[in-house]
Chains A and B, each alone.
Chain A
Amino acid sequence: MFIKYKLLWGGIFHKKLRLFLSVIGIIIGVASLLLMNSFGESAKIKTLKEIETFGPEVMIVVAGSVRVHGGRAIQTEITTTLKPSDAEALRKIKGIKYLSPVFNGEGIVRYLGNNLTTIINGVNEEYLLLRKFPILEGRNFLKDEILGYKKVAILGYKVKKELFGNENPIGKIILINKLPFRVIGVLSPIGIDASNADQDDQILIPWSVAISAVYNVDYIRSIYLSVENFKKIHLIEKQINKILLKRHKVSEKNKDFEIVKAEDILQVKTQTTKLFSTLVKSISILCLFVGALGVTAIMTLSVNERKKEIGIRKALGAEDKNILFQFLAESIFITFFGGAIGILIGVAGSLIFLPLFDYPLVFPWIPILTSALLTIFAGIIAGIYPAYKATRIEPIILLKQGF
């Protein structure tokens, strides 16, 4: 039994270096295809996870016009027309669960000898509930602290670590832009959210204090709100739009605010990811087929070199179909061999690079399967021409020393 297969396929291993060289293209193609596929899968999961931190029931009214670029909402100009009174007006809409005016800016924070620059977010007591940010130590703001302009602060996890290390910060006084604030809480680690902002690198303070004492302005940058029932989000979005247009005395065309939903961010993100992964997948498939072309070239060379072998096989009774299958099988085997190495490299690469770039680890079953099927397909494509050429060789070449 063994001899049968050795006689059928033994020729593949005859020239090992060449075998390896001929499959390099396939290896690269399959490895990159697999790597990109698992990155794509992982990115999808990552995006969904990020969106989860930014629930489907959340909306943001942003002052000025917003461009969503690369999944990131960028405020293109600063507008001063969004006022705290707008937030109060929106609170009257039925179906709104939580609402928080937000004013954010940079601030220099100091505790004893430690200095750092971070994002200062002026919010109210509903913000944490709305964003579903869990508190690690201490407590949330009280309504009275917001209304009463109390200088209290909740620290993001990284800020706490950098300012206090392992020290308990609760009750300690920190300076934000030289103003003293009492620390009342620390957030659990959250990570980067859907707007690409690191939620661990921030300090939350009452918005009333932020606009008055810290930044001295009379406007806010945005209003975060969540709805009771996310199915009604479009309806509520329309109402918000209507109210604000009226209050700001602007038309739809030159409006000075923008409403952003999780849905919008998700859409842009998936579009970008899709475009990127389609591009890379196309290149990988191209690479795979260039690799297949390499196998075709090597196999054609091999057929030419093995004319005598083909001739003798035919003289001994091989039919065209035997020769065709032999060489087709060689091409498929070679391609598949390269594909297998490519899959190994791709899997190893995924396991190494996914955690390295902070992507969730997914084992790429489906990419492995598609890569395997694609290589078999590539092998058949690669093998057709040389196998056909092999069948054209006639055994009379064996006796061609003159007539």
Chain B
Amino acid sequence: MVKKLVILKNITKSYKTGKISYQVLKGINLEVEEEDFLAIMGASGSGKSTLLNIIGLLDKPNSGIYILDGQEVSKLNKKELAYLRNRKIGFVFQAFYLVPWATALENVLLPLLYRGNITKEDEKKAIELLKRLGLEKRINARPNELSGGEQQRVAIARALITNPKLLLADEPTGNLDSKSSQEVMSIFKELNENGITIIMVTHDPEIADFAKKVKIIKDGTFIK
């Protein structure tokens, strides 16, 4: 039997803006198996980013159950969530979010800073990753010296340095031209084939085509 990596049961989330409260997620149920590649599609305001925040342990649901890799996580405190984010999840964002004053190599090593130490082996591993992503000549470049595609590949290397089980991507090609988008998606596909579970949020059907499964969210619930 295939193991379930992510189980969401009846997840709700609302935000308050002044006195008005928005119900953003209205009872989300989702199961993601290991080695899955899921694309979540939806229009702006559909709740897809909020859902990704919750799956990525960046935010807590108001109610419902979230089991990540066999552990109930919806009631954990901030410190425990930070630990799990560091160990289990890799993030790739639309805007890359590289630290501007650090080199590509240093950016890749950033998650390991919060495990305590950065060893020579870690450095070797980071350089390996950058090479694998075709950035062997950009190891010591700063983000502002890199193209969008290169920055996103650095961000992917940063997500992979911790060997996460789950890779979360938020519009990973949103800031990229079509050639770079294709490159990034083929990297994702290869990673998935090597066993990493990917959950990706996008509104681009072409990009969603790379995924094994597609779910569409609208007004806080899945419609497909």
Binding site for B on A (CB under 8 A): 1, 3-4, 6-8, 10-11, 13-14, 308-309, 311-320, 322, 394-396, 398-403
Contact = CB atoms under 8 A, between A and B. Distances in A.
Contacts of A311: 97
B53 A319 contact: no
Interface string B71-108: 00000001100110111000101110101111001100
B141 interface: no
23 contacts: A4-B118, A6-B102, A7-B106, A7-B113, A10-B102, A11-B101, A14-B100, A308-B95, A308-B97, A309-B97, A311-B97, A312-B97, A315-B56, A316-B86, A317-B162, A318-B114, A319-B114, A398-B97, A401-B44, A401-B94, A401-B171, A402-B44, A403-B22
**DSSP majority for the A interface?**
helix
Contact of B58 (A11, A322, A396): A396
A106 to B, nearest CB: 72
Given A399-B58, A403-B46, A403-B47, A10 B101 contact: yes
Contacts of A14: 100-101
Contacts of A4: 113, 117-118
B130 to A, nearest CB: 14
B24 interface: yes
* 9 closest residue pairs by CB, A with B: A317-B86, A317-B114, A14-B101, A316-B111, A312-B97, A402-B44, A399-B49, A395-B58, A403-B24
Contacts of B94: 401
B69 interface: no
B212 interface: no
A308 B101 CA distance: 13
Interface residues of B, number: 45
B118 A3 contact: yes
A399 B45 contact: no
Contact of B99 (A1, A309, A398, A400): A309
Contacts of A395: 58
Given A7-B118, A10-B101, 10 more contacts: A4-B117, A10-B102, A11-B99, A309-B99, A312-B99, A317-B87, A398-B91, A398-B95, A400-B49, A401-B94
B201 to A, nearest CB: 9
B109 interface: yes
Given A315-B58, A398-B97, A403-B49, A1 B118 contact: yes
A312 B96 CA distance: 10
Contact of A317 (B45, B53, B83): B83
A286 to B, nearest CB: 34
